[in-house]
Amino acid sequence: MTYDESTAKQLSKDAAEIIGRYPVRRSALLPLLHLVQSVDGYVSPDGVQFCADQLELSSAEVSAVATFYTQYKRRPNGEYQVGVCTNTLCAVMGGDEIWRQLSERVGAGHDETTPDGKISLERIECNAACDYAPVMMINWEFFDNMTPETALQLVDDILAGKDLVPTRGADRVVSFKETSRVLAGFEDGRADEGVSAGAPSLAGIETAKQQGWKGQDK
């Protein structure tokens, strides 16, 4: 399979914009991989070849990068990428149980997609949000202080076609393809939506202000 004329034309236009941001052409590979993922829903063989042609690389070089980073999927991904943090703190706070119940509910395991193509599940090593443990991410939007019940409700909402509202960040979750386009560097006009840092994340700096603590210059 190759891209149809219209898709290929738009991809080439977007690729030229991305490549133009970098002084060294091959430095554009990571956003280009997100770009083809925004079209195909994963980094397809056609996507690999497109990136290689655009950057004057071999397909092996492109594949080596695409297989290194977990955000790039090598087979068709679900419309919603549902990640559950099961690293130490999230695990002991309930992440393992959230994962077990979600996996049973949707009938999929790690890096697997439901037959209807709606949901891909992933065990995440760390969401860098320990102050809100246990944490989930859906298409890279935060869902904090989760329980098995609230996690299962999110999955039910996905299957029912309802909008998902993250705890922080954007006002709603968009599709995996739309998210991939943003990661490729194309703004969607939602950067200023929602709350970026909540009270738990700011507790340390607020305490420092109250105590009059200041960093030392070296």
pLDDT at res. 144: 95
pLDDT at res. 201: 83
Say how many C-beta atoms besides its own lie within 10 A of residue 101's C-beta: 17
In one letter, which amino acid is 87? Answer: N
Tokens 């202000």 belong to 209
pLDDT at res. 204: 85
pLDDT at res. 189: 85
pLDDT at res. 217: 58
**Domains of the chain, with CATH numbers?**
5-66 (1.10.10), 80-175 (3.40.30.10)
pLDDT at res. 127: 87
Strand order in the sheet with 112-113: 112-113, 119-124, 80-85, 136-138, 141-143
pLDDT at res. 135: 96
Q: How far is CA 7 from the centre of its chain?
A: 23
d(CA 181, CA 152): 28
- CA gyration radius for the chain? 20
Q: Which ranges of the chain have pLDDT less than 50? A: none
d(CA 192, CA 196): 9
- Quote the pTM value: 0.88
d(CA 177, CA 183): 10
